């Protein structure tokens, strides 16, 4: 194993969260590797400092404030969906209204006549 792989286990090692065989293997590596030993000592120092701090209790109002900030207004997403549907219906209504005022001959007949394509003699005989 590389030192980076050993170091991935250092926090669990310091916390005492490893099995006995894993702890023995890391002990062996730490006895042979000064950089990993220094890292383990740093982890232990942080752990000791944290455990020497008094445990802080959050203020009782914190839970209420967090819950209030995560609460959605009732029907918020439904109201938004109704707005989107109303906007879509409005646009569809505008399109339908616009088509109702366009004369049918403008829709059915092309405004520009296309030239008849030149076809070969066999298609001309067939009536194309
Ligand atoms: Zn190492």
Using pLDDT thresholds of 50, 70 and 90, give the confidence band for residue 106: low
- Cα-to-centroid distance, 50 and ligand 1 (Å): 25
Cα–Cα distance for residue pair 17/8, rounded to 1 Å: 13
- Cα-to-centroid distance, 33 and ligand 1 (Å): 5
What is the pLDDT, as a whole number, of residue 45?
92
Domain ranges of the chain: 3-52
pLDDT digits (tens, 9 = 90+) for 9-62: 998 998 889 999 999 999 999 999 999 999 999 999 998 998 898 888 888 888
Of 36, 17, 16, nearest to 28 by C-alpha is 36
CB-based contact 35:3 (threshold 8 Å): yes
- Cα-to-centroid distance, 127 and ligand 1 (Å): 90
CB-based contact 14:47 (threshold 8 Å): yes
CB-based contact 16:6 (threshold 8 Å): no
- Cα-to-centroid distance, 55 and ligand 1 (Å): 33
- Cα-to-centroid distance, 37 and ligand 1 (Å): 7
């Amino acid at each position: 194993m590389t030192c980076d792989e050993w170091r991935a286990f250092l926090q669990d090692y310091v916390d005492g969260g490893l099995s006995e065989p894993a702890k023995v293997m890391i002990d062996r590596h730490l006895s042979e590797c000064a950089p990993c030993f220094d890292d383990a000592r740093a982890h232990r120092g942080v752990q000791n400092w944290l455990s020497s701090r008094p445990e802080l209790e959050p203020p009782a109002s914190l839970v209420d404030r967090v819950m209030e900030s995560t609460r959605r207004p009732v029907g918020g997403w439904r109201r938004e969906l109704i707005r989107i549907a109303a906007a879509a219906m409005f646009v569809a209504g505008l399109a339908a209204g616009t088509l109702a005022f366009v004369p049918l001959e403008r829709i059915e007949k092309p405004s520009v006549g296309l030239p008849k394509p030149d076809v070969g003699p066999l298609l001309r005989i067939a009536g194309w």
